[in-house]
Amino acid sequence: MMKEMEPQTKPSLKLQAYQYLKTKILNCEYRPNEFLNEQKLCAEMGNISRTPMRDALGRLEQEGLITILPKKGLMVSGITEEDVHSMFEMRLLVEPYALRNYGNLIPRQELEDYKELMHHPDRIDDFCKSDDDFHALLMSSLPNKYLRSAYDRITGLNTRFRIMTGKVSMINQDQTCEEHLLILDAALNDNWDTAADALQHHLELARDKAEGVIKVIRLW
């Protein structure tokens, strides 16, 4: 007699709390430097107990998204000029390295699909998401779990920074497509050194623009 299939288990409460809070922070629904109340957070999630909430908050603290201040409480971490500089320093170290050494493992069809898309930016509904997905693809073949873990931490910082500064100010679509195409053309010709160099130049331009933006606006 065949065993009945067990229903798919729901994520644990601590995982649900972690995902809920992280989404709110990354989307800036909880603003940088805003204080959070643990009891209210539990109530937001249907009056869950404090144990899974504290587990979630501890994980978010480890990721640098919240700061636990003695005698003051919980605060959403802000973003400073140093954070932006460090974010791009990490990206410049890791992304070209990953592409140069492991780019040949990226499925060719996915590179070709992105090349076609870069020739038709008018087809892209959310250009920022498309840009993030492109860089995620270039990183997808990196096997080093420690580098990936460190890199994954800064992707959230990049998302928050874009929202805080305004997506439009951060991306020139035509210029970005041209820079992506230089990377893709080299990659599709199996010239990974040239592709990595083009990616490094692309990130350097993005860094210079981001550091220019943060100097002239006031972040929360």
Q: ∠ CA(135), CA(120), CA(88), 5° rounding?
A: 25
Q: Are residues 58 and 159 in the same domain?
A: no
Q: Are residues 88 and 35 in the same domain?
A: no
pTM for this predicted structure: 0.78
pLDDT of residue 158: 85
Q: Are residues 36 and 132 in the same domain?
A: no
Q: Are residues 85 and 69 in the same domain?
A: no
Q: Which long-range contacts (CB under 8 A, 24 or more apart) does 185-194 make?
A: 185/115, 187/99, 187/103, 187/106, 187/111, 188/108, 188/111, 188/112, 188/115, 190/104, 192/99, 192/100, 192/101, 192/103, 192/104, 193/100
- Total tally of structural domains belonging to the chain: 2
Q: What CATH number corresponds to the domain at position 163? A: 1.20.120.530
Q: Are residues 42 and 109 in the same domain?
A: no
pLDDT of residue 163: 79
Pick from 23, 58, 76: which residue ends a domain? 76
Structure tokens at 83: 């954070």
pLDDT < 70 positions in the chain: 1-9, 166-171, 216-220
Q: Are residues 66 and 85 in the same domain?
A: no
User: Is residue 66 in some structural domain?
Assistant: yes
pLDDT of residue 70: 87
Q: Helix or strand or coil: residue 120?
A: coil
Q: Are residues 93 and 144 in the same domain?
A: yes
pLDDT of residue 168: 45
Contacts of 147 (CB under 8 A, 6+ apart): 94, 98
CA distances from 73 to 33, 57, 59, 70 (A): 12, 11, 16, 6
Q: Are residues 160 and 109 in the same domain?
A: yes
Q: Are residues 113 and 182 in the same domain?
A: yes
Domain carrying residue 185: 81-216
Q: Are residues 71 and 93 in the same domain?
A: no
Q: Are residues 207 and 189 in the same domain?
A: yes
| Cα–Cα dist 205/18, whole Å | 34
Q: Are residues 112 and 19 in the same domain?
A: no
